[in-house]
Amino acid sequence: MNIKKTGEPRLEDLDDAALIQRALQPDRDAFSLIMKRHNRRLHRIARAVLEDETEAEDVVQETYFHALTHLSEFRAEARLSTWLTRIALNEALGRRRQRRPTVDIDALGPETRLPDACEPDPEEAAGVAEIRRLLELALNDLPEPFRVVFVMRDVEDMSTEETALLLGLQPQTVRTRLHRARRLLRKALQEKFAAVLTDIFPFAGALCEHLTQSVLDRLRLHPAERLSWAGPRALKAGLPVDN
């Protein structure tokens, strides 16, 4: 039975370098924490390359298997996140090259639940899910070079320099692709939302009828509040007047 020494830092408080040393002992908990820290980034980048949820998950698994078996080769010249991302990128790009032209792609997987301690309002959750779906569809439609750069820069908040290093590009090329990706996304989303914008804040149907009837009822019950022109003109308008 392992007893934690007094004053020993919690595993969650260790940085990546310390976790690697623990994982090399080996320490399964340390490597598990490494995976939890980097899962989302690796999955997003793999999915940006492959456009497939299941295959992206496979890439992440292969990335960690490779990292675990080569952990002693990691050098601190680069950050652990950079090293893992490079492995994931190579795996994803290799899989894409091996694809046959006729392979079908299942573009979207099941929606993930909102990470909220409270159960979200069903209507609000549905709205968020629909917005996420539209964003994912628009992102999937981007050319792959733009999509990967967008995910790395705007979704994962990686620096221009790190993105350029991992993709083997010049920083200016990264900036250009990011600019074009943003412009294409903006255009696609404007087209998707244009029809919806004309229907926002609807005030028709039963709501409109209810308000109209409420005003007419008020005029009927409170003569002193009638408009000054509620005389002969009111008769033509169908408003109630006192005899």
- Whether residue 243 is contained in a domain is answered as no
Q: Is the pLDDT confidence value at 19 over 80?
A: yes
Quick one: 194 and 224 in the same domain?
A: no
Quick one: 194 and 209 in the same domain?
A: no
Q: Which amino acid is at 31?
A: F
Residue 117, pLDDT score? 40
Could you read off the pLDDT of 168-186 as tens digits, one per residue?
999 999 999 999 999 998 8
Quick one: 53 and 27 in the same domain?
A: yes
Q: Is the pLDDT confidence value at 232 over 60?
A: no
Q: What is the CATH number of the domain that holds 65?
A: 1.10.1740.10
Quick one: 34 and 74 in the same domain?
A: yes
Residues 151/48, Cβ–Cβ less than 8 Å: yes
Q: What gap in Å lies between CA 227 and CA 124, rounded to an integer?
A: 41
- Whether residue 182 is contained in a domain is answered as yes
Apex CA 15: angle with CA 13 and CA 17, to 5°? 145
Residue 182, pLDDT score? 92
Q: What gap in Å lies between CA 34 and CA 37, rounded to an integer?
A: 5
- How many other CB atoms are found less than 10 A from the CB of residue 154? 13
Q: Is the pLDDT confidence value at 160 over 50?
A: yes
Q: What is the CATH number of the domain that holds 185?
A: 1.10.10.10
Q: What gap in Å lies between CA 89 and CA 130, rounded to an integer?
A: 29
Quick one: 69 and 19 in the same domain?
A: yes
Quick one: 170 and 215 in the same domain?
A: no
Quick one: 194 and 134 in the same domain?
A: yes
**What percent of the chain is modeled with pLDDT above 90?**
23
- Whether residue 116 is contained in a domain is answered as no
Give the range among 34-38, 137-141, 169-173, 238-242 with minimum mean pLDDT.
238-242
Quick one: 214 and 191 in the same domain?
A: no
Quick one: 15 and 96 in the same domain?
A: yes
Could you read off the pLDDT of 214-224 as tens digits, one per residue?
766 766 676 55
- Whether residue 108 is contained in a domain is answered as no
Q: What gap in Å lies between CA 123 and CA 125, rounded to an integer?
A: 5
Which pLDDT band, with edges at 50, 70 and 90, does 235 fall under? very low
Q: Is the pLDDT confidence value at 139 over 70?
A: yes
Residue 180, pLDDT score? 94
Residue 222, pLDDT score? 63
Domain that includes residue 220, residue range: 205-237
Whole-angstrom Cα Rg for the chain: 29
Hey, is 23 helix, strand or coil? helix
Residue with tokens 């290799």: 94
Taking residues 73-85, report their average pLDDT.
Answer: 82
Q: Is the pLDDT confidence value at 103 over 70?
A: no
- Whether residue 106 is contained in a domain is answered as no
Taking residues 157-165, report their average pLDDT.
Answer: 92
Residue 112, pLDDT score? 37
Q: What gap in Å lies between CA 52 and CA 104, rounded to an integer?
A: 10
Q: Is the pLDDT confidence value at 24 over 60?
A: yes
Q: What gap in Å lies between CA 133 and CA 152, rounded to an integer?
A: 19
Give the range among 75-89, 130-144, 219-233 with minimum mean pLDDT.
219-233
Quick one: 128 and 189 in the same domain?
A: yes
Which pLDDT band, with edges at 50, 70 and 90, does 14 fall under? confident
Residues 225/218, Cβ–Cβ less than 8 Å: yes
- Whether residue 84 is contained in a domain is answered as yes
- Whether residue 24 is contained in a domain is answered as yes
Taking residues 192-206, report their average pLDDT.
Answer: 63
- Whether residue 111 is contained in a domain is answered as no
Quick one: 83 and 138 in the same domain?
A: no
Which pLDDT band, with edges at 50, 70 and 90, does 133 fall under? confident
Strand runs (DSSP E) across 133-212, as ranges? Answer: none
Where are the alpha helices (H) located in the chain, listed in sequence order?
16-23, 28-50, 53-69, 80-98, 122-140, 144-150, 160-167, 171-197, 205-221, 232-237
Based on the structure, what is the number of domains in the chain?
A: 3
Q: What is the DSSP letter of 111?
A: P
Residue 88, pLDDT score? 92
Q: Is the pLDDT confidence value at 211 over 90?
A: no
